[in-house]
């Protein structure tokens, strides 16, 4: 009797443990695919769920987060028969847990193989130069093809990125030489353009300097001519004023005689060795003064 009680106690404990473990808590980012008696029963979302012992079972636990898979580099052949290694990265998300659980066996491996075959098909239509410069085109085509092909598996391919492209060693060396030659050519062009620009600037500077010197000389000549003309004008005015004052003051013969001598001296201007003075110098005073004025007016102006 006592042993029977202990059996009941043990069975009760086992039953309690089974019931306790039958309650499942599903978190926000996961989905549970449940089978009942070997067939699909339900997909559990967030919350606490009860799993019927010995009847229900969890077939798979699916995460809803976006996943990243960096697949191994794939050997591909271009249109011009160049073999290279291309490494791709896939960003995908599970949108239908039921299709993901029952659509294909080992979905990640299937996605990797599909990615490799798709990449080979795309690169087979491109030559080497197009492959190296068309990453965006390769990414777009792969994403479109993979997204459509994985719909029956409950997978959404969000983005595909070509991580690395590795051409053969001899081609890499040839490309490095070509890039080095291109950089040297650009450097030579830049140096030549700089020297050309410097020569142009020097020529323009010399031309501007010549123009400025010519303008300065021209301005100097004009100002000297204006100053000389102004001086002559003032001298003429002073002489005219002197004659006017002599006439207005009714100067006698002696004063006129002195003025006549001064006029004769100016007429001679130091160039004549002799001056002949007429007997009637008083009568000729006015005539000499007039001659002096005429000689000054005809004399050339020094520049």
Q: Using an 8 Å Cβ cutoff, are 85 and 120 in contact? A: no
* Average pLDDT of adjacent 10-residue blocks, the chain of 303 residues: 74 80 86 89 89 87 91 86 88 92 89 91 88 88 92 92 83 74 84 89 88 89 87 81 69 56 56 50 49 50 44
pLDDT at residue 146, as a whole number:
92
Compute how many other C-beta atoms are within 10 angstroms of the C-beta atom of residue 138.
22
Query: Looking at the chain, how many residues does it have?
Result: 303
Query: Nearest CA to 114 among 139, 144, 75, 149?
Result: 149
Complete domains list, the chain, with CATH:
2-63 (no CATH), 67-167 (3.30.479.30), 251-303 (no CATH)
Nearest to 131 by CA among 187, 170, 83: 83
pLDDT of residue 228: 86
If you search the block for the tokens 């011009």, which residue do you land on?
80
Judge whether 29 and 64 are in contact, CB under 8 Å: yes
Which whole-number Å values give the CA distances from 173 to 156, 168, 169, 177, 180, in the listed order?
40, 9, 6, 6, 11
Please report the pLDDT score of residue 15 as a whole number.
80
| Tokens read off for 265 | 């001296």
Looking at residue 281, what is its pLDDT? 47
Question: pLDDT at position 89, please?
Answer: 92
Query: Cα–Cα distance between 92 and 112 in angstroms, integer?
Result: 12
């Amino acid at each position: 009797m006592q042993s029977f009680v202990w059996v009941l106690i043990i069975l009760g404990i086992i039953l309690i443990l089974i019931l306790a473990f039958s309650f499942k808590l599903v978190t926000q980012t996961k989905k549970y695919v449940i089978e009942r008696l070997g067939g699909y029963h339900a997909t559990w979302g967030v919350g606490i769920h009860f799993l019927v012992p010995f009847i229900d079972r969890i077939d798979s636990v699916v995460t809803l987060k976006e996943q990243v898979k960096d697949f191994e580099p794939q050997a591909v052949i271009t249109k011009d028969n160049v073999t290279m290694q291309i490494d791709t990265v896939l960003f995908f998300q599970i949108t239908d847990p039921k299709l993901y659980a029952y659509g294909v066996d080992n979905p990640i491996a299937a996605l990797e193989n599909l990615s490799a075959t798709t990449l080979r098909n795309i690169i087979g239509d491109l030559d080497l130069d197009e492959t190296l410069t068309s990453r965006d085109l390769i990414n777009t085509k792969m994403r479109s093809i993979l997204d459509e092909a994985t719909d029956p598996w409950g997978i959404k391919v969000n983005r595909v990125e070509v991580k690395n492209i590795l051409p053969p060693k001899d081609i890499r060396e040839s490309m490095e030489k070509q890039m080095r030659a291109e950089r040297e050519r650009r450097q030579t062009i830049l140096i030549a353009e700089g020297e050309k620009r410097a020569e142009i600037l020097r020529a323009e500077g010399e031309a501007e300097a010549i123009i400025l010197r010519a303008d300065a000389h021209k301005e100097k000549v004009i100002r000297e001519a204006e100053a000389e003309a102004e001086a002559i004008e003032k001298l003429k005015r002073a002489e005219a004023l002197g004659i006017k004052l002599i006439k207005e003051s009714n100067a006698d013969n002696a004063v006129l005689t002195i003025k006549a001598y001064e006029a004769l001296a100016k007429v001679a201007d130091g160039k004549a060795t002799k001056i002949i003075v007429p007997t009637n110098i008083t009568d000729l005073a006015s005539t000499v003064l007039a001659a002096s004025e005429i000689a000054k007016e005809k004399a050339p102006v020094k520049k």
